[in-house]
Chain A
Amino acid sequence: MRPKPRHALALLPTLMILVGVPLLNGAHGTVLGLPPLLAWIVAAVVLTSVVMAVIRALDGHPAPDSAPPPEPGSDPRA
Chain B
Amino acid sequence: MSALAVIGAFVALALALGLLARRGHTMSLEQWAVGGRGFGTIFVFLLMAGEIYTTFTFLGGSGWAYGRGAPAFYILSYGAIAYTISYFLLPPIWRYATRHQLHSQADFLARKYRAPWLGVVVALVGVTAIVPYLVLQLKGLEIIVSETSYGRIAPHPAVWIGVAVLVAYVVVSGVRGSAWTAVLKDVMILGVAVALGVYLPIHHYGGFGAMFAAIERAHPGFFALPARGMSPAWFVSTVLLSALGFYMWPHGFAAGYTARSEDVFRRNAAIMPLYQLVLLFVLFVGFAAILTVPGLKGADADLSLLRLSRATFAPPLVGLIGAAGVLTALVPGSMLLLTAGTILAKNVVRPFAPAMSERAVGVLARLAVPAIALLAVAFTLQDGGAIVPLLLLGYNLVTQLLPALLASLPERPRATPLGAFAGIVAGEAIVTWAALSGATLAKLFPHWPGAIADLNIGLVALIANAVVMLLVSAVTPRVPANEPAAREPRAPALAGAAGR
Q: Which residues of A approach B to under 8 Å, CB–CB?
A: 1, 3, 7, 10, 13-14, 17-18, 21-22, 25-27, 30, 33-35, 37-38, 41-42, 44-46, 48-49, 51-53, 55-56, 59, 61-62, 64-73, 75
Q: Are B483 and A72 within 8 A (Cβ)?
A: yes
A40 to chain B, nearest CB (A): 9
Residue of B with least CB distance to A67: B261
Which of A7, A34, A42, A56 lies in contact with B212, CB distance below 8 A? A34
Q: B383 within 8 Å of A by Cβ?
A: no
Q: Are A17 and B81 within 8 A (Cβ)?
A: yes
B66 to chain A, nearest CB (A): 15
Q: B494 within 8 Å of A by Cβ?
A: yes
Complex Cα distance A56/B80, Å?
16
Q: B497 within 8 Å of A by Cβ?
A: yes
Q: B207 within 8 Å of A by Cβ?
A: yes
Q: Are B73 and A41 within 8 A (Cβ)?
A: yes
A39 to chain B, nearest CB (A): 10
14 extra interchain contacts, Cβ-Cβ under 8 A, other than A62-B261, A65-B261?
A18-B236, A22-B233, A25-B225, A25-B232, A34-B212, A37-B224, A41-B73, A45-B274, A48-B83, A65-B40, A69-B95, A69-B98, A72-B99, A75-B95
Most chain A CB neighbours (cut-off 10 Å) among B224, B276, B277, B411: B224
Q: Are B483 and A46 within 8 A (Cβ)?
A: no
A56 touching B270 in the complex, CB below 8 Å, given contacts A25-B232, A44-B77, A61-B263:
yes
Which of A1, A30, A53 lies in contact with B209, CB distance below 8 A? A30
Q: Are A13 and B207 within 8 A (Cβ)?
A: no
B65 to chain A, nearest CB (A): 10
Residues of B within 8 A of A41 (CB): 73, 76-77
Contact residues, B24-60 vs A (CB, 8 A) = 40-41
Q: B388 within 8 Å of A by Cβ?
A: no
B6 to chain A, nearest CB (A): 32
Q: Which residues of B approach A to under 8 Å, CB–CB?
A: 40-41, 70, 73, 76-77, 79-81, 83-84, 87-88, 91, 95, 98-99, 207-209, 212-213, 216, 223-225, 232-233, 235-236, 239-240, 260-261, 263-264, 266-267, 269-274, 276-277, 280, 283, 411, 483, 494, 497-498, 500
Q: Are A64 and B264 within 8 A (Cβ)?
A: yes
Residue of A with least CB distance to B266: A56
Residue of B with least CB distance to A23: B232
Q: Are A33 and B87 within 8 A (Cβ)?
A: no
Which of A37, A62, A69 lies in contact with B497, CB distance below 8 A? A69
Complex Cα distance A24/B241, Å?
21
8 contacts between A and B (CB under 8 A): A1-B91, A14-B81, A33-B212, A42-B280, A45-B76, A46-B277, A64-B41, A65-B263
Residue of B with least CB distance to A13: B80
Q: Are B494 and A17 within 8 A (Cβ)?
A: no
Residues of A within 8 A of B209 (CB): 30, 33
Q: Are B224 and A26 within 8 A (Cβ)?
A: yes
Complex Cα distance A4/B274, Å?
25
Residues of B within 8 A of A61 (CB): 263, 266-267
Q: Are B84 and A49 within 8 A (Cβ)?
A: no
A37 touching B76 in the complex, CB below 8 Å, given contacts A18-B239, A49-B273, A62-B263:
no
A37 touching B70 in the complex, CB below 8 Å, given contacts A14-B81, A17-B81, A51-B84:
yes
Residues of B within 8 A of A17 (CB): 77, 80-81, 239
Complex Cα distance A30/B211, Å?
12
Residues of B within 8 A of A37 (CB): 70, 73, 223-225
Residue of B with least CB distance to A18: B236
Residues of A within 8 A of B81 (CB): 13-14, 17-18, 48
Residues of A within 8 A of B232 (CB): 21-22, 25
Residues of B within 8 A of A1 (CB): 88, 91
Complex Cα distance A49/B243, Å?
16
Residues of A within 8 A of B223 (CB): 35, 37-38
Complex Cα distance A66/B267, Å?
15
Complex Cα distance A21/B76, Å?
12
